[in-house]
A and B are shown apart, each in its own frame.
Chain A
Amino acid sequence: MNVARFRRDWRALAARAAGWGRPGPAAARRLEALGRQKGFTGPVLALGAHLWAARAPLEAFGSREQLSRFRRALREGRLLASAAVSEPGAGSDVLSISTLARPEAGRWRLKGRKAFVTGAPAADLLLVWARTAPGRRADALTCFLTPVRTPGVRVWPALWRVGPANAWAGEVALDCSLEDRLRLGEVGQGLAVFHYAMDVERRLILAPALGAMSRRLELTERRVRERRQFGRPLSRTPAVVRRLAAMRRRLEDARRAVYAAAAERPGLARALSARAKTVVSEAWLANALDAAMLGGAKACLTDEALAREILAAASSRLLSGSNDVLARLQ
């Protein structure tokens, strides 16, 4: 899939999700259904970034002018947005970013480089976190709404290899000047904007994976019912029964974790949100590997979708903060 096709699919999903902006259980149900229908593809991942890492913080922190300029276009998918936080030398540790924003004649001069930006080559608008004070102070960062067409913004596409199918991301080089009215929130409020964006994203970014897991479980159950070994269906082998039970239990645990987080009022990096992301990603990877085990040699030789699901599940442990880092928030 090339970037143009990725953009078209992402835009269609964003438009379909026009009314899903509230990060609650209703959105989780719709995303789960979407994942069941389409799987967890690159455009589905990018939809999560658009809705939760970009649109949600804009709606929570945006000025009246910013809301009237961007909100409708974001809801209708005419503008695709993503968050540009990580840098080649800074991932989960957001206070170590080095992209600078300094005041310059009533505007802001942004200089730096962002990496691993979901959807970057197809995005129209980036939320860029930059440093407006030195050190690890909690007031060191500020967030900026950065239209990708701004002179001095350059994007290099990159495709996830261990990740969902057709998941485009990219690096972004910034040497640009922005009007002050594109600052999201106050100077020094960037960390709060970031923790809010991550809170909302972590609770729902993997909701589509619940649908994908549910579909995979059904396919696996059917396969072991139909496959006969030693004169009986594989589904009557005790070890297989136990493995299927574990898959069902993991899916239910994952579902409970997502809906418990989604029922909570969004805040700053809440424990339930970190837990939801962690539980789903670990359950998804374990279930995908079990599906490969129960699918047998035939699945491993022919099932491209299953191979991709294993890669997507493996990468999901890193998205929105690696599970090892998120353990600190729970």
Chain B
Amino acid sequence: MSAARARIKRFVQRELLAGRAVRDEQSLWDAGVDSLGLIKLVRFVESSFAIEIPPRDVRPKVFESIAAIADYVERRRRRAA
């Protein structure tokens, strides 16, 4: 598991799902991430990985799972490199 993925997972489970476990590929929407959860998730990814997320990039598919978010972070990092 990449470091980014592990970090995102830790945040999601602890801060958004009250300690409940979630699989990397599982839909966060099915797992119960709601309106405030989406805001917290975007804030966390921006501040933890020092990237600016254009609002247009906050798409259901991009933030749907821990794996998808980690892929997005990797893509953004590669583009910035």
Contacts and interface: CB of A to CB of B under 8 A. Distances in A.
Contacts of A189: 58-60
Interface in A172-200: 185-189, 191-193, 195-196
Given A138-B28, A139-B60, A186-B60, A192 B34 contact: no
B55 A268 contact: yes
Contacts, number: 67
Contacts of B54: 60
Interface residues of A, number: 27
Contacts of B59: 185-186, 188-189, 192
A95 B60 contact: no
Contacts of A328: 36
Interface in A190-237: 191-193, 195-196
Contacts of A195: 35, 38-39
B55 A191 contact: no
A185 B43 CA distance: 20
9 contacts: A61-B56, A137-B33, A139-B64, A186-B61, A191-B38, A192-B58, A192-B59, A267-B42, A268-B58
B55 A138 contact: no
Given A138-B29, A267-B42, A268-B39, 15 more contacts: A60-B56, A93-B35, A136-B34, A137-B29, A138-B33, A138-B37, A185-B56, A187-B60, A188-B60, A189-B58, A189-B59, A191-B35, A192-B58, A193-B55, A195-B38
